[in-house]
Amino acid sequence: MGDITHLTGRVLTKSGQPMRNAFVEIWQVDNRGSYVRTGGRQPFGYDTNFQGYGRFLSDAKGQYYFRTIKPIEYTLQGIFRTAHIHVAVSQNGRRVFTSQILVNGHPANARDALSKRLEPAALKTILVDFKPMPGSKLAELSANFDIVLGSTVNELEPGAPRGTAPPMNRRPSGY
């Protein structure tokens, strides 16, 4: 359940070179504000049909693709979050990038703790437009997010603002 979204993008070096075989992962809440993991579920339930996690190995052009849902804002364990999708990139078995994709223009961005800590130029690197997909009979959306290592806000860099979602204590089944 939710607004079906086709999330695409590329993983690039700071100089614009594509990163082949980059392991791209995403995770997010379902349309009820629940993560797949037990400690991240809302007391009023969760969507049992939503996987909540995906991974993709980038191609020679650095491209990746996910079919997911448009993220929603939520409050979980007393923490408010704007609509977002977590994203991570690993290469050669090493995590090199972790960040979040935020919905450009979402009114809740102004209330989000992570959004408020970022400088406007840094925030711009993680804001993504979710647009109607031309010709879709299901009202699907498309979103494009290019990850530019060294330019896109990276939570792994020293001093970078960290996300405010509760930490993942265990991996959901299917990892």
User: What CATH number is given to the structural domain containing 136?
Assistant: 2.60.130.10
Does residue 170 belong to any structural domain of this protein?
no
Residue-level pLDDT at 167: 40
Q: Which structural domain range is residue 116 located in?
A: 4-148
Does residue 154 belong to any structural domain of this protein?
no
Greatest distance between any 2 Cα atoms in the chain: 47
Does residue 156 belong to any structural domain of this protein?
no
Residues 24-66 pLDDT 10s: 999 999 998 888 876 677 777 788 888 889 999 999 999 999 9
d(CA 21, CA 19): 7
Please state the rounded mean pLDDT for residues 117-145: 94
d(CA 162, CA 26): 16
Does residue 125 belong to any structural domain of this protein?
yes
Does residue 26 belong to any structural domain of this protein?
yes
What percentage of the chain has pLDDT greater than the value 70?
A: 89
Q: What is the mean pLDDT of the chain?
A: 88
Q: Based on the structure, what is the number of domains in the chain?
A: 1
Beta-strand ranges (E) seen in 70-126 are 74-76, 79-81, 84-91, 94-103
Contact between residue 153 and residue 122 where contact means Cβ atoms under 8 Å apart: yes
